[in-house]
Amino acid sequence: MILERIKSEGIAHLSYFLGSGNSAAVIDPRRDIDIYLELARRHGMQIKFIFETHRNEDYVVGSLELAGPTGATIYHGPVQDFKYGKVLLDGQEFELGKLRLIALRTPGHSDDSMSYAVVDKATGQAPALVFTGDALFVNETGRVDFGGLSNIPRMASDLFESLFNRLLLLGDGVIICPGHGAGSICGSRIAEREESTIGLEKLNNPALKHTDKASFIRYKSAEQHEKPPYFSLMEKYNLEGAPLLKGLPLPPALNPSEFKTALEKGALVIDTNLPAAFGGSHVRGAYNIWLGGLPTFTGWFLPYDKPILLILENDLHLETATRYLIRIGYDNLAGYLKNGVEAWYNAGYPLEKLNLLSVHELKAKIDRSENFTLLDVREPEAWRAGHIAGSKNIYVGHIQQKLAEIPADRPVVVLCSVGRRAGVACSLLLRAGYTQVYNVLGSMTAWRQAEYPVVNQK
């Protein structure tokens, strides 16, 4: 048996290549499919099946993209009105070399959720592993709010049944292969460790301590999750099928004049430099989203109907940036500024700056009782766990909708955990016309290291 886990950074998406003999299946493929084709070539296998665990919300699934060059058949669960692929029956079985794959209905995270138990017939008839999608993670279970607030109790009840009366009964030694790892927005407590078994989850997973259904429903109903606006397009694409890429669409290199022309025609700019470099000099109006933050934060702010220009910290980052963006549906990449912002200022074009503060300078401002707004853009839970007295908490994803709550007539000092999300927020404020904006480098991490006082509201 061949089992390969493929991790897509940023969205912490996990897909899998499963093979035996000369046949293979892919579970929840991402949109840039070259990795699966390479694995098939390497192992001398033909990809015959593509299995989806559910209609994903946080990335574009690559099922149709992969089915094209491989001829593989796509399967997914019932209920949703899919425009492609075949609908599975509960208990339906597939043969894959010496493996038997069994489709299991496990609704709760979504109504169409499926898991796939795998039996290695060479060693026995009991399942050896199970692909759990977003039903069961390492140290977490799937969120239950995508059906709307009124449906949370029903979805939580369904998830309880799927977990306790289906997945946990497969056997303590069964390896779980979840759809996401740590950092995914689909679960707030997913462990950094990506290996686990049913038995370990029964022992350690906080959600599985609630063995009474009513208690489990209360536990899941109390969760609070963010839902970025780009999820709506992902849901549409993953029901109807996304536009086919037929290869990675790397954007062209542009000289400063070409870049300026595209900008004047309405293209939007993402600058992936880290906060200190962005603060020193950047193109006016640029969104500052560091490379690793592209798949997480671009979908909060940028529309899909305008071309996107990139300014990269290093031109070698182009392929990574492109992969991150096409995975969440940003296909209209008009180009990147060759040699970055240095080429821009060498061409004599105007620059904008962002004020930067150390935590020591921030402490001095506070001690002098200067009049400014201290804006903490971390998640509310992180803010409650420890923040600077007097700080105002607005999550970075909500900044554009809550500008009215941020006074523009005095300086705004922004911080987060290390300053990168603060950089995103600062660029949003600059775009909105705020003129006195400061990013605190190191933010709360540096503040704590300096042993400055922190308020805890937990």
Taking only the tens place, the pLDDT of each residue in 345-388 is: 999 999 999 999 999 999 999 999 999 999 999 999 999 999 99
Q: How far apart are CA 245 and CA 237, in angstroms?
A: 13
> Roughly how many angstroms between the first and final C-alpha of the chain, as a whole number?
48
pLDDT digits (tens, 9 = 90+) for 10-50: 889 999 999 999 999 999 999 999 999 999 999 999 999 99
Q: Is the pLDDT of residue 329 over 80?
A: yes
List CB contacts of 343: < 8 A, sequence separation 6 or more. 255, 256, 337
Which strands form 268-271's sheet, in the order they lie side by side?
A: 253-254, 333-337, 308-311, 268-271, 287-288
Q: Are 98 and 18 in contact (CB under 8 A)?
A: no
Q: Is the pLDDT of residue 225 over 90?
A: no
Give me the DSSP letters along 394-413.
Answer: --GGGTGGGGGGS-SSS-EE
Q: How far apart are CA 236 and CA 233, in angstroms?
A: 5
What is the average pLDDT across 254-259? 98
pLDDT of the residue at 66? 98
What is the average pLDDT across 419-436? 97
Residue 452's Cβ-side half-sphere holds a number of Cα atoms within 13 Å equal to 19
Q: How far apart are CA 178 and CA 454, in angstroms?
A: 36
pTM score, two decimals?
0.93
What is the average pLDDT across 430-436? 97
Helix, strand, or coil (residue 14): strand
Amino acid found at 324? Y
pLDDT digits (tens, 9 = 90+) for 70-109: 999 999 999 888 999 999 999 999 999 999 999 999 999 9
Of 151, 155, 200, 157, which is closest to residue 175 (Cα–Cα)? 200
What is the average pLDDT across 44-70? 96
What is the average pLDDT across 214-233? 93
Q: Are 29 and 15 in contact (CB under 8 A)?
A: yes
Q: Are 28 and 52 in contact (CB under 8 A)?
A: yes
Q: Is the pLDDT of residue 458 over 80?
A: no
Exposed, middle or buried: residue 206 (CB in 10 Å: 0-12, 13-18, 19+)? exposed
pLDDT digits (tens, 9 = 90+) for 376-399: 999 999 999 999 999 999 999 999
pLDDT of the residue at 64? 97
Per-residue pLDDT band for 147 (boundaries 50, 70, 90) equals confident
Percentage of the chain exceeding pLDDT 70: 100
Which strands form 13-20's sheet, in the order they lie side by side?
A: 2-8, 13-20, 23-27, 46-51, 73-76, 86-87
Paired tokens of 88: 């599975």
Per-residue pLDDT band for 226 (boundaries 50, 70, 90) equals confident
pLDDT of the residue at 449? 98
When the pLDDT of each residue in the chain is averaged and rounded to a whole number, the result is: 96
What is the average pLDDT across 150-165? 97
